């Protein structure tokens, strides 16, 4: 079984600054994938970035990067140069080798202030 | 490339009724997963369909059932609706089976309200 913990219910950041959203995970699988999704108030879950457990380098996608620390079982999302449109709920999720289901955390509500 | 679509967007039902939610997968995808997201929580996995067969189920009672069609679109059926079934129902499609790299792409969701 997998478990995702997001300890920050809400985060605030000034426009153009960087922000880190925390995610820790627990699994007994040797291979797993970690995902981050963005959910605006409209409800659609938007895929942002993926990190595989055996990837040696941290994943990056544009302004998004994933700070992966395997020994600490953490997969924090870093958003650089925050924009007003980044205000949304952010979910960390993982998938193990036992199946294809995604296990989600409870999410972090990010608010970007002008 | 067409993304994942869901219908209807909103639905209001009363306790005891039955509901059918629909999902069209993204072009080229053969796997569909359904999730229930209660207000203020993360999505919970209901089940997944791969090539018209159920491939994994979460902790949901049998009154939650599904289908996948030859064109890989899918339906989620919920019988004997309860108040706690009120939630956003998300459908996600992906291109492969049981791969940790297989990214799931979500539709806009159907918001179900049970009165």
Mean predicted lDDT score pLDDT of chain A? 95
The H-or-E segment that residue B78 falls in is strand B74-78
- Other C-beta atoms lying within 10 Å of the C-beta of residue B84: 9
The pLDDT tens digits for A20-55 are 999 999 999 999 999 999 999 999 999 999 999 999
Rounded CA separation A5/B45 (Å):
17
Higher local confidence (pLDDT), B101 or B91: B91
3-state SS assignment for residue B34:
strand
Q: Do B108 and A97 touch (CB under 8 A)?
A: no
Q: Residue B98 pLDDT more than 60?
A: no
Question: What pLDDT does residue B97 have?
Answer: 62
Q: Would you call B41 and A47 a contact, using CB atoms and an 8 Å cutoff?
A: no
CA atoms within 13 A on the CB side of B31: 19
Quote the pLDDT of residue B102.
86
Q: What is the pLDDT of residue A109?
A: 98
Q: Which residues of B touch A101 (CB under 8 A)?
A: 33, 45, 48, 56, 58
Taking only the tens place, the pLDDT of each residue in B63-80 is: 999 999 999 999 999 999
- CA atoms of A32 and A53, how far apart (whole Å): 5
Tell me if B18 sits within 8 A of B77, measured CB to CB.
yes
Of all residues in chain A, the percent with pLDDT exceeding 90 is 93
Substitution target from B6, B53, B97, B100 for chain A, most A beta carbons within 10 A: B100
| pLDDT, mean over chain B | 94
Tell me the mean pLDDT in the region A5-9: 97
Residue of chain A nearest B43, judged by CA positions: A104
Q: How far is Cα B11 from Cα B8, in angstroms, rounded to an integer?
A: 7
For chains A and B, CB pairs below 8 A equal: 76
Give yes or no for a contact between B31 and B97, defined as CB atoms under 8 angstroms apart.
Answer: yes
**Residue A46 with chain B: CB contacts under 8 Å:** 106
Q: Contact, B106 vs B51, CB < 8 A? A: no
Question: Minimal CA–CA distance to A21: which of A77, A105, A96, A91?
Answer: A77
């Amino acid at each position: 079984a997998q478990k995702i913990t997001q300890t920050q219910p809400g985060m605030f950041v000034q426009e153009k600054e960087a922000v880190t959203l925390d995610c820790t995970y627990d699994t007994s699988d040797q291979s797993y994938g970690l995902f981050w999704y963005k959910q605006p108030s409209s409800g659609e879950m938007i895929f942002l970035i993926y990190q595989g457990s055996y990837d040696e380098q941290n994943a990056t996608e544009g302004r998004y990067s994933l700070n992966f620390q395997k020994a600490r079982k953490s997969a924090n999302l870093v958003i650089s140069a925050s924009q007003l449109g980044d205000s949304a709920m952010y979910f960390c999720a993982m998938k193990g080798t036992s199946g294809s289901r995604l296990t989600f955390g409870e999410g972090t509500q990010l608010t970007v202030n002008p | 490339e067409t993304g994942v679509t869901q219908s209807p967007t909103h639905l209001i039902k009363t306790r005891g009724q039955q509901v059918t939610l629909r999902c069209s997968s993204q072009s080229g995808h053969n796997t569909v997963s359904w999730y229930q997201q209660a207000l203020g929580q993360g999505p919970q996995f209901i089940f997944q369909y791969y090539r018209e067969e159920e491939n994994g189920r979460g902790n949901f009672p049998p009154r939650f059932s599904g289908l996948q069609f030859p064109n890989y679109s899918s339906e989620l059926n919920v019988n004997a609706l309860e108040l706690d079934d009120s939630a956003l129902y998300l459908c996600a499609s992906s291109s492969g089976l049981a791969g940790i790299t297989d990214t799931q792409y979500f539709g806009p969701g159907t918001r179900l309200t049970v009165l």
